[in-house]
Amino acid sequence: MGSTMAEVTDQIVFLLKATKSEYVEDTMKKGRFCFSQPTVFSKWENNEAAQYDRWDSHSAYEATHLVVAPIISEENGIPQYGPVQKLADRAIIHEQDSFIKQSFICCFRYIKLNEVEFCDKGVNLSLGTVADRIIKEFGYDSFVLIEFNEFIRRIKEKGILFIGAVVYKDLLNDYEFPVPEQLKSIVEQFYRKDTKYEWQQEYRIVIPPLKGYTDTKRFIEIGSIEDIAISGKIADIRD
């Protein structure tokens, strides 16, 4: 089945924020991060871009023996149904509720302990061909590498509750998230992505809807992260 959400989190040592060079200073000095609603990704203008995901923030299940019964009339406000008709033997059901649709997501790449080498001068990190994919498919040229535990502590101080690694499952029929039952539906939508995106190793921080807010993006500042982060060019961590 692959690693679970909890197992991945136990191995994370850094979060890598891929970005454009003009945003690096604000990220480092202000701890400024952009959060986007799921529709930003599901309706991305370039379907070939790595950001595009038609089913971003949707759960996904395989259903069998689908049937439908048309409403043929109504009596005293109660619908009257016609004969049940077969719709399909099998189908993939995607679900997204309004809370999810109106929430905001900030995405990082998680870096596990076995992906880095600690040395006297700091940390050696090589993404190999993944660096080329980030440059080409995302259109980013720079990165900010952030110490995981302290960053998450500061994020939590802002009252942000939904934080975790994405699980790459085309279907959730055989996967159980390690969360309380009342949060299961929310987490299944936020933290599931199709397996074709697994190379992205995504870690998500989510903030809930803001009443009366109509923009699809929000910016959050947590203060300088210069004491727990370094920045550079993605091309420099290719090898």
Token pair belonging to 208: 């809930």
Phi, psi for 32 (deg, rounded to 5) = -95, 125
Widest CA span of the chain, in angstroms? 79
Name the amino acid, one letter, at 211: K
Residues 6+ apart with CB under 8 A from 189: 57, 58, 59, 95, 96, 97, 100
- What is residue 100's predicted lDDT score, i.e. its pLDDT? 95
Judged on CB neighbours under 10 Å (0-12, 13-18, 19+), 131 is buried
Q: Nearest 5°: CA angle at 96, between 91 and 97?
A: 135
- What is residue 29's predicted lDDT score, i.e. its pLDDT? 98
C-alpha dihedral (169, 175, 181, 183), degrees to nearest 10: -10
- Rounded Cα distance between 162 and 191, Å, is 10
Please tell me whether residue 49 adopts helix, strand or coil conformation.
coil
Parts of the chain with a pLDDT under 50: 1
This prediction has a pTM of: 0.87
- Adjacent-strand bridge partners of 67: 86
What is the tens place of the pLDDT at every residue in 54-98? 899 999 999 999 899 999 999 888 999 999 999 889 999 999 999
- Give the number of other Cβ atoms within 10 Å of residue 223's Cβ: 12
Phi, psi for 31 (deg, rounded to 5) = 60, 45
- What is residue 3's predicted lDDT score, i.e. its pLDDT? 64
- What is residue 2's predicted lDDT score, i.e. its pLDDT? 54
